[in-house]
Structure 1
Amino acid sequence: MLPLERNGLSAQQVKEALHMVHGVSRMRFRYDLLDSNNQFKRTLTNVLSASVTHDALADIKRRAKFTIVDDGTIDFLSDRIKPYVLLDVPASPNVPGSKPGVAEFPLGVFLLTTPPRKARADGSVIREVEAYDLGQVLRDDKVTDRYTVPAGSNYIKAVSDVLTSAGITMQNLAPTDKVLPADRDWEPGTSKAQIVNDLLAAINYFSLWFDGDGYAVARPYTNPASRPVDYVYRNDEESVILPEVEQALDLFDVPNRWVVYTSEADGVPLRSVYTNDNPSSPTSTVRRGRVITAPPIQVEAPDQETLDSIARRIAFEQSQVYEKVQFETAIMPIHTHMDVLRFEFKALGLSENYLETGWSFDLRVGARMKHTVRRLIYL
């Protein structure tokens, strides 16, 4: 489960407040101004509106927008903003000895752009600021010479060294005992984001992301099917799900025949055709009553047996589709990156585990939080 306990409050108390078990939840928002080293400077009082978006499939995963009254005290080139959701949590009759308090949920540390200043009718000047998490630092910082990680280097130590060289010292990296089997290098001009993610991909880690406190996080890849559920949403008496839920499963263009071939200058060309004629598969030639052929694919293979196995693998991979579900809830500021959610919604007959690939909400009382989740289906 996602860690709900915070600020001396129990997970049960926080969950009850989020689900409004004891009445409408009360939320406020805070915006801390940080310096270029992520050190606190002051709390801002000139933010008029804001929103935060997390897209797990994007290069820069967390983004924000701030409408700010420009009072001349923010250095847009070096300062950063760290927004929070503040949730008033009452004492719970279900938690003996509980006391009321405020649960704080940090939403990220954001670099600021320098947009135009706009004068308003009341004489104030505002800026509408696009902001990006610290992944932007790694994307902007590029190596000026060929960068080499020598054989025998620990992968995560190498990742940490790149992060530190970019000024990112707040790191939460899962250790590994794996080392590079040979030297690996990158051309001048390669971004440090590319180097970090190449190293992580080599040991089957997720790409790097930044959490609500601004820490760089690296974790080994785990199949969502084998992970425990992080949070459950169901439309019951404590539901925070809004009624507009959309489910999409587009099978229209999924192929059911594949042609794979070799083109050897010094040998006999080979060809393999694989057809999905499985009656239990909804996209098979049998079920659909027609053939949908994928574009032919050229590969390298030493013999017909290998080519046939490659064709089967390609067919398997291209027969995987995602069921996508989009839904909205009240603001639930507990989510991080690639959370596994159990989503149960009776009207659409949904009761499955999904991987959350995106979420977003405006930082205002009564706003809706948008969630995008998906589930891999093998056809």
Structure 2
Amino acid sequence: MPAQIYALDISGRRTRPADPLSGHRQESWRVNLLNNNDVLLTQLVGVVGGEFTFNVNAAIRGSGSIEYSGTPLDWNQHRVQPIYRTEAGGAAVEWPLGVFLVATPSSEYKDGDRTVSLEMYDKTKILEDDLIPASYQVAKGSNVITAVRAVLALSGQTRTAFEESTQTLATAMVWPAGTSRLRIINDLLESVNYFSIWVDGDGVFRTSPYLSPADRGMSWEFEDNEKSIYSPEFTHDFDTFDVPNRVIVTGQSDGDTAAPVAVAEDNGTGPFSIATRGRVISRYEEGQEASSQATLQAIAERLLQTGQQVGSTFSIQHAPIPIDLNSVVAFRRGVEAIDVATTLQTISYSMDTGALCSTTLREFIQ
């Protein structure tokens, strides 16, 4: 879900929507100090720099660091929320990058001054660190989204914005002691073909049914014109040797019947199809949890789609924009005759004035 953008009046109140994200910017950062319930305490004074990275393929998608020279704090009792702000086109817009837990910092001393490097992780770190002390089971027939909320609550997390589902487990799911609650949650979500759980800029846990990139809608267009906000220097990696055109997925047996099977094939005319390549390149997944045969088939289709996106990626640099991982982005470059639809895989921010974001985009076939 893309971040919302608002114009701000002189007092900082949100007013009409605006789009001052092209052209010259006057930008600034601030970092909010929150308590462990994500309640705003004050603005963190003493931040002298920082950087933040988000990666759709990482277990903990958001991480970063802040250089801090302010009053020492008990970081076990506080969280931070970096916010980017830009003023241009007669309006101001801002958006939060996330709510972060702060690791035990290291300190650097120079001429009597002390600077602390604060390592940070988004709130999925809470779930990653919470390992179950005994085996955990979700019974056959359980509503999956209800089960996910229950696991979150066991880690003390109740701030959620989930798209509801009536899907239930076709078979019981069991995890051994030592499994993280993050793994349990994502296993449950995968069984109903949902996106993995993630945390938005306000620290709210989110998930929704998986949509193929072609069905998500365009979130941003990197245009090659007078309003371009990206650097003309970029890289393109294109490796298609192992890109699959057939995916075979077997589900879980209930003990009385054979495990269900789903097959997804590219029988079209695209560059990775069986007909175009003249051979079958298969991927096999065994023991997939799925709430139904239809869900198992949807998972096979999803694996085929994502497997075919790996072949072409673009690494670009651009001015900061409010956009989330997995968003669909157009990338256009006239000189090289590039006009592609992509999904956002990684994005990195720096708090240095004028710094560009470094972003990886993965092309998909529409």
Correspondence for 2:21: 18
| Matches of 2:60 and 2:142, distance apart in 1 | 27
Deviation by residue 1:280-338 (Cα, 9 ceiling, x = unmatched): 968999989xx9x9899999xxxxxxxxxxxxx9xx89877421011111122x01121
Identity level (%): 28
Q: How far 1:104 sits from its partner (Å)? A: 2.3
Q: Secondary structure at the match of 2:335?
A: helix
Unaligned stretches of 5+ in structure 1? 92-99, 257-277, 300-312
| Matches of 2:272 and 2:145, distance apart in 1 | 43
Q: Secondary structure at the match of 2:75?
A: coil
> 1:4·1:10 contact (CA, 8 Å) conserved in 2?
no
Within the candidate set 132, 154, 162, 1:143 is matched to 132
User: Match for 1:112: what amino acid?
Assistant: V
Q: How does 1:207-226 map to 2 (within 5 A)?
A: 207-226=196-215
Correspondence for 1:264: none
Within the candidate set 188, 192, 216, 1:227 is matched to 216
> 1:279·1:287 contact (CA, 8 Å) conserved in 2?
no
Q: Secondary structure at the match of 2:195?
A: coil
Task: Normalising by structure 1, report the TM-score.
Answer: 0.76
Within the candidate set 355, 358, 362, 1:374 is matched to 362
| Matches of 1:33 and 1:44, distance apart in 2 | 5
User: Match for 2:166: what amino acid?
Assistant: D
CA separation of 1:198 and 1:298: change in aligned 2, threshold 3 A:
closer
Correspondence for 1:78: 77
Unaligned stretches of 5+ in structure 2? 9-13, 246-267, 287-300
Q: How far 1:212 sits from its partner (Å)? A: 0.7
User: Match for 1:130: what amino acid?
Assistant: E
Of 279-288 and 363-372, deviating more is 279-288
| Matches of 1:46 and 1:27, distance apart in 2 | 18
| Matches of 1:285 and 1:190, distance apart in 2 | 43
CA separation of 1:189 and 1:235: change in aligned 2, threshold 3 A:
same
How many equivalent pairs are there?
324
Q: How does 1:1-379 map to 2 (within 5 A)?
A: 2=2, 3-5=4-6, 7=8, 8-11=14-17, 13=18, 15=19, 17-20=20-23, 24-69=24-69, 71-72=71-72, 74-91=73-90, 100=91, 102-120=92-110, 122-251=111-240, 321-332=310-321, 334-376=322-364
| Matches of 2:329 and 2:81, distance apart in 1 | 26
> 1:337·1:356 contact (CA, 8 Å) conserved in 2?
yes
User: Match for 1:76: what amino acid?
Assistant: W
| Matches of 1:77 and 1:191, distance apart in 2 | 20
CA separation of 1:319 and 1:176: change in aligned 2, threshold 3 A:
closer
Q: CA RMSD in A?
A: 3.3
The structure having more radius of gyration, on CA atoms, is 1
Q: How far 1:150 sits from its partner (Å)? A: 2.1
User: Match for 2:171: what amino acid?
Assistant: A
| Matches of 1:221 and 1:279, distance apart in 2 | 25
> 1:149·1:185 contact (CA, 8 Å) conserved in 2?
yes
| Matches of 1:197 and 1:90, distance apart in 2 | 42
Task: Normalising by structure 2, report the TM-score.
Answer: 0.79
Q: Secondary structure at the match of 1:347?
A: coil
> 2:310·2:362 contact (CA, 8 Å) conserved in 1?
no
CA separation of 1:43 and 1:49: change in aligned 2, threshold 3 A:
same
User: Match for 2:21: what amino acid?
Assistant: L
Deviation by residue 1:60-98 (Cα, 9 ceiling, x = unmatched): 0011111111522x212231110101222543xxxxxxx
Deviation by residue 1:190-213 (Cα, 9 ceiling, x = unmatched): 110011000000000111111111
| Matches of 2:98 and 2:285, distance apart in 1 | 45
> 1:249·1:322 contact (CA, 8 Å) conserved in 2?
yes
